[in-house]
Amino acid sequence: MSKQPSLFNEAAQSIEPGKAGEPIAKIPDDITADSSLSAAIGPYQVYMQGKGFSPNTIKAFLGDLRLLNRYFRERGENPKLKDIDTETLNQFLYWLRFERTNADGALIPCSPKSYARRVTTLKSFFGWLTEVKVLDQDPAAAVIQQSVQAPLPRILYDEEVDRLVRVTRDMLWSPTKPDARPYLLVLLLLQAGLKKSEVMKIRLDDIDTSNPRDPILYVRYSDPRMGHKERKLALGPAFTPVYNQYLRTYQPKERLFECTARNLEYVLSDAAKRAEIPGGASFETLRWTSAVRSYRFGMTPEALREKMGLSPISWRETFDKIQKLAGPGL
């Protein structure tokens, strides 16, 4: 088993990450290149479920495909799959950005995030049709993201990370009111790069400190469809003493943090204020900061994807942002 180094000397590494399966939904015999878009949506849903896409992603992707279907219907068209080419998809994307209106004729805005996801939907759907040999060529492969792109997320600069760690460590050893929770939370987020929902689900038996210098966190999901997000992460030797002091003070029974997510947001906000960090610090900010720092320290893209618990589909855009954030000047 490989080790994940401490946050403050080397990049975090995922340990024995779970591998997502590679099931491909069986295409019904009557679905061919001459079939309609509607006929392929159902099998594509089965494919996404088999690949472990999250329920929210499946819902969003299916909604995007129905929107493409609606685009065709509004034009009195019902093209065969083989007749949907790159130009057709680019025209659809142009319609989304500049021509789609509601019943009153008012333009329906398409946010950068929604636009980027819809491009991803097209690439995933038509890439799958090509992979299972329904189509000979992928019409979405040449679709370009255009200039509409979600803004880069905010991260903490190295000196801000240092101040945040120092401030929360001082809170741990305060002679008047010692509190291990802020430091524990910051260590956990910067080392493991967890989402807020994952932090709130951590149970005490998900943390293994039997080897104090090599504590381990198991990120688990009860839904089997989310199995590709499960992973095993090292937390670094600095975690164990803070964790033990936290247990003595807060005495949690089942979950690591037996409070609301809002409470922890206040903890981060207060710590960022003490550290004089403009804009504060959030779960999302520290997750992105963790990812960028790991990449800078040499973690491979695949290991980083697995550390963050992302599917190959969602990783494409995420990795592009990580590369930009980790580039010169930051």
**What does the pLDDT profile of the chain (330 residues) look like in tens digits?**
434 445 544 333 444 333 334 444 556 667 899 999 999 999 999 999 988 899 999 999 999 999 999 999 988 899 999 999 998 999 899 899 888 888 777 788 888 888 989 999 999 999 999 999 999 999 999 887 654 456 789 999 999 999 999 999 999 999 999 999 999 999 999 999 999 999 999 999 999 999 999 999 999 998 887 777 899 999 999 999 999 999 999 999 999 999 999 899 999 999 999 999 998 899 999 999 999 999 999 999 999 999 999 888 778 888 999 999 998 754
Per-residue pLDDT, 225: 75
Per-residue pLDDT, 26: 58
Distances in Å between the Cα of 139 and the Cα atoms of 58, 130, 196, 325 are 21, 9, 37, 31
Tokens coding 227: 């199995």
Q: Which residue bears the tokens 């969602």?
A: 314
**CA atoms lying within 13 Å on the CB side of residue 223:** 11
* Cβ atoms within 10 Å of 55's Cβ, excluding its own: 12
The CATH number that domain 14-20+152-325 falls under is 1.10.443.10
Q: Which residue bears the tokens 């299972």?
A: 132
Tokens coding 276: 């004089």
Per-residue pLDDT, 120: 93
276's CB contacts (< 8 A; 6+ apart) are: 163
Per-residue pLDDT, 12: 39
Q: What is the pTM of this model?
A: 0.62
Tokens coding 183: 């430091």
Per-residue pLDDT, 295: 96
Q: Please say whether the beta carbons of 192 and 235 come within 8 A.
A: yes
Please say whether the structural domain 37-131 has been given the CATH code 2.60.40. Answer: no
Tokens coding 59: 């819902």
Per-residue pLDDT, 105: 73
Tell me where in the chain the CATH 1.10.150 domain(s) lie. Answer: 37-131
> Closest by alpha carbon to 89, among 127, 54, 131?
127
Tell me where in the chain the CATH 1.10.443.10 domain(s) lie. Answer: 14-20+152-325
